[in-house]
Amino acid sequence: MTQIIAVANQKGGVGKTTTTINLGACLADLGQKVLLIDADAQGNATSGVGIEKGTIDKDIYDVLIDEYPLAKVIQPTQRENLDIVPATIQLAGAEIELTTRMARESRLKTSLKAIEGQYDFILIDCPPSLGNLTINAFTASHSILIPVQSEYYALEGLSQLLNTIHLVQKHFNPQLKIEGVLLTMYDARTNLGAEVVAEVRKYFPENVYQTIIPRNVRLSEAPSHGLPIIDYDPRSKGAEVYQKLAKEVLTANGK
Ligand SMILES: Nc1ncnc2c1ncn2[C@@H]1O[C@H](COP(=O)(O)OP(=O)(O)OP(=O)(O)O)[C@@H](O)[C@H]1O
């Protein structure tokens, strides 16, 4: 069965895109067939796997707004077993346009039916908001992976995120669960990092991954080369930790 995971946190810059690309690539490296869906108008997941935005004809916007077949917008990446549904800046209009459409919350879910069973994992890179695009991702997903930056105020805003999850569970997707909470951008040189880790583990006693993603400059360089970290610098700390996370995610999903 395909496991569909939304990577979400309405807080900006916490590592959603970095996690979507690198977890996806590491799962693909372990032999899983993976589809990334870029649901963020910034299109950073798209460019981060080497797709030139100028070359894109149709993208996730056309799927959500005009019911264009999702299978036709899937593009392969340079890495075997890793495909992507790209996004461009036109997706910015979808937040508002969706409000006028029928079944606005389930458009992504419906479009994914046509590729049912073709992938082991589908990872959706959500935008930094709790609007219609994120609701579409939550309605289409089995679970949510929440990256949390290891800094002061890490937990700020998480109650709104949990509220949104509860609302989607109640109205559209009762099976939706939390896949895991991922601590990102950890800085071992400060006491603060360790305090935040303890605080987040206390808040989510059962859901925090053992793997913690440290700050690693190679992770921030990789997107400008259009490559996941395991292809950009396979020996880096960033590659090591995302490979560890992929194994954790596989085990948690009984694969
Ligand atoms: N572990 C890390 N070490 C160093 N830099 C990182 C790390 N994780 C992410 N970054 C960098 O931090 C910035 C924000 O990361 P990213 O784009 O993944 O966050 P995001 O949550 O997807 O952002 P947005 O909310 O804008 O979509 C990027 O420049 C990225 O390269």
Residue range of the domain that includes 223: 3-252
Say yes or no to pLDDT of 191 above 80: no
Say yes or no to pLDDT of 80 above 80: yes
Higher pLDDT pick, 56 / 157: 56
Number of Cβ within a 10 Å radius of residue 71: 13
Rounded Cα–Cα distance for residues 144 and 7 (Å): 6
Least confident stretch, 89-93, 153-157, 210-214: 153-157
- For a mutational test of ligand 1's pocket, the pick from 16, 18, 186, 215, i.e. the residue with the most ligand atoms closer than 8 A to its C-beta, is 18
Residue 108: pLDDT band by 50, 70, 90 thresholds? Answer: very high
CATH number of the domain where residue 230 is located: 3.40.50.300
Please give the distance, rounded to the nearest whole angstrom, from the Cα atom of residue 220 to the centre of ligand 1: 7
Nearest in space to 86 (alpha carbons), one of 104, 61, 65: 61
Residue 189: pLDDT band by 50, 70, 90 thresholds? Answer: confident
Q: Give the pLDDT of residue 178.
A: 97
Supply 231's token pair: 């292809």
Q: Give the pLDDT of residue 118.
A: 97
Q: What average pLDDT score do residues 67-84 get?
A: 97
- Count structural domains, the chain: 1
- For a mutational test of ligand 1's pocket, the pick from 220, 225, 240, i.e. the residue with the most ligand atoms closer than 8 A to its C-beta, is 220
Q: What is the mean pLDDT of the chain?
A: 95
Q: Give the pLDDT of residue 154.
A: 83
